[in-house]
Amino acid sequence: MAAASQKANLDSLRKELVSRGVDAFCVPRADEYLGEYIPAHNERLRWLTDFTGSAGMAVVTTNNAAIFTDGRYTVQVRRQVDGQQYEYRRLIEEPPLSWLTEQLDAGSKVLLDPRMCTLDWYQQANKVLGAAGIELVLSIDNPIDQCWESRPEANVAKALLLDESFTGEHSLSKRQRLGKSIGELGADAALIFAPDSVSWLLNVRGRDVPRLPVLLGCAVLEASGDLHLLVDKGRVPEGFHEHCGGGVSIIAEGEASELLGAWTGKTVLADPATASAWTQLSLEAGGATLMAGEDPVLLPKACKNAVEVAGAQEAHRRDAVAEIRFLAWLDAEVAAGRYHDEAEVSDHLGALRAEGELFHELSFDTISASASNGAMCHYNHQDNTPASLQANSLYLVDSGGQYSDGTTDITRTVAVGEVTQEMRELFTLVLKGHIALDRARFPKGTTGTHLDVLARQFLWQTGRDYDHGTGHGVGAFLSVHEGPQRIAKAWNATALAPGMIVSNEPGYYRDGAFGIRCENLCVVREADTSSQEVPMLEFEALTLVPFDKRLIEIALLSSEEREWIDTYHARVAAQIMERLENPGDRDWLAAATTALA
């Protein structure tokens, strides 16, 4: 979007705010489902600012505006958002609410759409703004919807019914099991707000949000196991009730207020940190007593059962075939002097994935980043003119697929021609961190925060770091970013448990030069220790693709690290070689997995 178009949209929004008698409006990168992936018709922040990142917020007053992003988007936001119209602010270090109190006088009014924020955020906003004498005005009539003249139509498609051979448990069993746990907490029902929680509970998947196969809807689960599903009925496929079993009722989205207002005198468990303010305020307005607690689906969904783990393992083997074929092709193209652009190589990788059995779509937009573009952690070539791969540089490709039996996510950093000694040294420091985390054994009760330093230690020793988490949870044919577990500096209270799938992805980024990331997915499993005194857990790598040996500075490796690389590469070759049909691909894999010299 040109700067002039950004200004026009901002001016239009300000006129709407003036007409409503308010002084400011908060525009989070969110919609009424509060998910990371947003349908095109709900991309309100993108319409306003042209920012395409997965997290951020714009705050608009009648005189000023600012956009708040985290460390992943420091470079990107300045390229996409007009600095003449918006101040650039750090989301964590310079909170939007603090900025608002500096901009507005007492007696001002701030408009907020309560569907677009959690109850926790709403209560914090009410507290901070109220202390400054600023009134918070709630309205689900979003002003951007009144200004967005060319807003796309919502996509409404029939959901997929996922067979128990993929899920490992029937929906009725899940609902009754979780309903019992809700009752044991003293609640009559629970708000199941997140679409991926609803989809997992019903063993269905959706087709409405690109890269995220969830049924868009929320639900109320009773302690009996009966479930009331709020959803556009156009998304409900034939055979839905037979698939889910008894006790599921469908309520149209337009009747949400009636459902949420029907729990008078009942106690309803709801997660103030993840469910929208509007749903919980509506429950309270209807006479329900809210019990604050974590979404009861989160932990059971995160701890994959044996069927889901086996599915993930098989999905990663098929995914590895596509990735290895791609890397072999890329090396051949570079050797022949054909330096394709980022879009061409990304499209080729996507086409190879699409040939795999049980493939549905990519699990996120491929990050195909040449040279300096790799310094933007979440770079998307579709937002710019794709750059051509540069000779004697690094190419970073972060990609994944959605399969009926699993979700994949892998990053490989590749040498394009001759690279510098410094690039090899930095890549090796990142890989050493990856190895340290992969080799970790840890007692039950350990969280991802406890382990995060393992991946950063070698960079820290040289005065370097990376400004993103080390690992995120991954779903089973669901979101590629799944909680509640996480490996990051920021405190995460969820202990790692068997069956959890997490990424292991340390990196290093030099603005204007290059980016490095080494990412595998792994599953938490019980460890077989020699003493057996303390039950221990460990990681098993799911991803089976070689790391680029041309980027490894062997002198920086310990003997244990060398052994890890050789063992991992031997495992890759053993599991993937026979799946490759092309002799040239097999030759490439054989060379890529030979022991370090």
Q: For residues 347 and 354, what is the distance between their CA atoms, to the nearest angstrom? A: 10
Could you give the 3-state DSSP secondary structure of residue 59?
Answer: strand
pLDDT category of residue 532 using cuts at 50, 70 and 90: confident
State the DSSP code for 236.
P
Read off the pLDDT of each residue in 252-274 and give the average, rounded to a whole number: 95
Cα 178 from Cα 156, distance rounded (Å): 29
Query: What pLDDT score was predicted for residue 327?
Result: 98
Written as six digits, the tokens of 141 are 């009539």
- What are 527's two structure tokens? 């460890």
Q: State how far the alpha carbon of 435 is from the alpha carbons of 131, 277, 442, in Å.
A: 49, 41, 15
pLDDT band at 188 (very low <50, low <70, confident <90, very high): very high
pLDDT over 60 (residue 461)? yes
Q: What is the number of other CB atoms lying within 10 angstroms of the CB of residue 477?
A: 25
In contact, 216 and 207? CB cutoff 8 Å: no
Contacts 24+ apart (CB under 8 A), 9-17: 9/47, 9/48, 9/147, 10/48, 10/60, 10/65, 10/85, 12/147, 13/48, 13/60, 13/143, 13/144, 13/147, 14/60, 14/62, 16/143, 16/146, 16/147, 17/60, 17/62, 17/111, 17/143
Token readout for 364 is 């996120």
Structure tokens at 574: 């053993």
Output the pTM of the full model: 0.93
Residues 6+ apart with CB under 8 A from 249: 226, 227, 228, 229
Tokens 């690094």 — which residue? 394
Supply the pLDDT for residue 376: 86
Predicted local confidence at residue 92, as pLDDT:
86
Tell whether the model's pLDDT for residue 564 goes beyond 60. Answer: yes
Spatial separation of the C-alpha atoms in residues 99 and 60, rounded to whole Å: 11
Q: 407-427 pLDDT, tens per residue?
A: 999 999 999 999 999 999 999
Amino acid type, 64: N
Q: According to the model, what pLDDT value does residue 381 have?
A: 87
Q: Of 283, 278, 290, nearest to 138 (Cα)?
A: 278
The predicted structure's pLDDT at residue 1 = 47
316: tokens are 């990663």
**Mean pLDDT within 274-301:** 97
Residue 383 has pLDDT above 80, yes or no: no
| Alpha-carbon distances, residue 115 vs 6, 144, 214, 279, 562 (angstroms) | 24, 14, 19, 7, 51
* Nearest-angstrom CA–CA distance, 449 and 456: 12
93 pLDDT exceeds 50? yes
Q: State the burial class of residue 583 (Cβ atoms within 10 Å of its Cβ: 0-12, 13-18, 19+).
A: exposed
- Token readout for 385 is 């003119």
In this structure, the dihedral spanned by the alpha carbons of residues 57, 61, 66 and 69, taken in order and rounded to 10 degrees, is: -10
> For the residues 49-70, what does the mean pLDDT come to?
94
Helices (H) and strands (E) in the chain, counts: 19, 28
Is the pLDDT score of 2 beyond 70?
A: no
Instruction: Say what the pLDDT of residue 445 is.
Output: 97
Provide the mean pLDDT of the chain: 96
Q: What is the pLDDT of residue 506?
A: 98
pLDDT of 231 above 60: yes
Q: Which domains are present in the chain?
A: 3-147 (3.40.350.10), 160-296 (3.40.350.10), 303-592 (3.90.230.10)
List, in sequence order, every residue forming a beta bridge with 441; answer none if it has no partner: 538
Residue 73's pLDDT is what? Answer: 82
pLDDT of residue 385: 86
Q: Tell me if 319 sits within 8 A of 408, measured CB to CB.
A: yes
Q: Where are the alpha helices (DSSP H) in 385-528?
A: 421-438, 448-461
Q: Mean pLDDT, to the nearest integer, of 337-357?
A: 97
- β-pairing, 536-541 vs 441-443, is antiparallel
> What H or E segment, with its residue span, contains residue 322?
helix 306-335
- pLDDT (0 to 100) of residue 289: 98
